[in-house]
Every structure is written in C-alpha cells, then in structure tokens.
C-alpha cells in the first residue's frame, strides 16, 4: 500500500472518513466517501509515518486547493488507476471532443487525471475555461514514447486547451511529453517517491 503509483485513486470506508477531516474544511467533504468519491495517492512526507498519504483536490469554486489526508491501511476499501480518457470524455466540453477523439487514436488506453478526471469521477464542476487536459500514456520503450509524443504534438497544435501528458516507463517513472520531444540529455522524471533528473537513455532501460 505504501508503493501506490502516482495518480492512484483510493476509496475509503465511509465510516472511517469523518475523523480524517479537520473542522475548518469545507462542508462538501463531510459526505465525500459516502457519495462514493475517491481520494488520490500523494507523495509520502516525513510526518506521514505508516499512514496512507492521500489528497482531495477541491473544485475551483472552493479555491482549487488540495486537502492532505492520512488514513490507516484498513480504511482503504479499494484502489483503482485513474479513469480511461474514453470513459471521462463525456464530462469534457463540446469544444474538446474532436481533440479527445484525435488523442484516442494515439492510444485508446490512455488515462486522464486532473480537472477532467475529477469532474467525471464526482460530477462536480472542476473544469474551467482555462483548464488543461492531463493525460497518462504508458510506454514500453523509447520508440513508443517517440511515436506517442509526436502524435500529441501534432494534436496539440490545433487543440483548444493545453495538453499535458505524462509518458510513463514500465517502472512507473513519468516524463512530460514536451521534455521527451526536446533534445535534452537529462529529463525530469517523477515517481511515487520523488522527482529527479535522469539520463534520457536510462529512462526506459
């Protein structure tokens, strides 16, 4: 449980939820788990101890703030990966639909996180006129990463929103597609434990 992948969704037992919420947090959070809404795994901090480190991003109307939570392992009912883009597409604005269709041609199994994912998962208003689309594409090797990053670049040129996509290596290290498309020898790779610079040639080794 301590090795949850980035963006993993974590569902908690509703009876364990109330003690996790500070009194000054928005009322919206009181019935969060009872409504079947997930939390998301976050990076473990030194003061988290043995607890499961979680977060809940609030909608823009409530300040677009992420509430940090900690829970005991036995509070977790289930975990799931972030939603598939094809499943979340219905929650996206009409102006996004052609771009989403083009992205799915690149990888039908790509997943999404961020505002689109949370609007799909909760039914609450997370998307705004300035929202990005945040994507996850698993890549087995550099050639796959090259092909998918090139396709995203071609779609991004005419997209009505900014496309932020992570190319994820088999070990879970993720790099932004724009960085991969650059000629940099070292890239910023994110993992559950930390973000670090890695050699391009080592990312998919």
> Which one is catalytic: 24, 87, 134, 171?
134
Tell me the β-bridge partners of 133: 163
Tell me the β-bridge partners of 70: 53
Burial class (CB in 10 A: 0-12, 13-18, 19+), 164: middle
In terms of DSSP H, where are the helices of 89-129?
97-106, 114-122
> Which one is catalytic: 48, 132, 146, 164?
132
Known catalytic residue at 141: no
Q: Which residue has the tokens 């890695």?
A: 198
Known catalytic residue at 107: no
Q: Which residue has the tokens 């003690």?
A: 19
Contact yes or no for 126/115 (Cβ under 8 A): yes
CA distances from 162 to 2, 14, 99, 118, 157 (A): 32, 36, 11, 17, 9
Active site residues: 132, 134
């Amino acid at each position: 449980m301590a090795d949850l992948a980035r963006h993993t969704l974590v569902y908690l037992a509703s009876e364990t939820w109330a003690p996790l919420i500070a009194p000054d947090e928005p009322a919206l959070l009181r019935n969060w788990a009872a409504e079947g809404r997930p939390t998301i795994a976050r990076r473990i901090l030194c003061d988290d101890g043995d607890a499961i480190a979680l977060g809940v991003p609030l909608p823009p109307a409530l300040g677009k703030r992420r509430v940090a939570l900690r829970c005991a392992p036995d509070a977790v009912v289930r975990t799931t990966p972030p939603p598939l883009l094809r499943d979340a597409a219905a929650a996206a604005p009409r102006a996004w639909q052609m771009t989403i269709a083009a992205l799915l041609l690149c990888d039908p199994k790509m997943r999404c996180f961020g505002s689109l994912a949370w609007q799909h998962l909760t039914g609450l208003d997370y998307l705004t006129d300035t929202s990005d689309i945040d994507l996850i594409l698993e890549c087995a090797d550099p050639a796959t990463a090259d092909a998918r990053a090139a396709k995203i670049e071609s779609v991004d040129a005419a997209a009505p929103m900014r496309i932020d996509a992570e190319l994820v290596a088999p070990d879970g290290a993720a790099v932004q597609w724009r960085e991969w498309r650059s000629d940099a020898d070292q890239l910023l790779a994110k993992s559950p434990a930390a973000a670090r610079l890695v050699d391009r040639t080592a990312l998919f080794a």
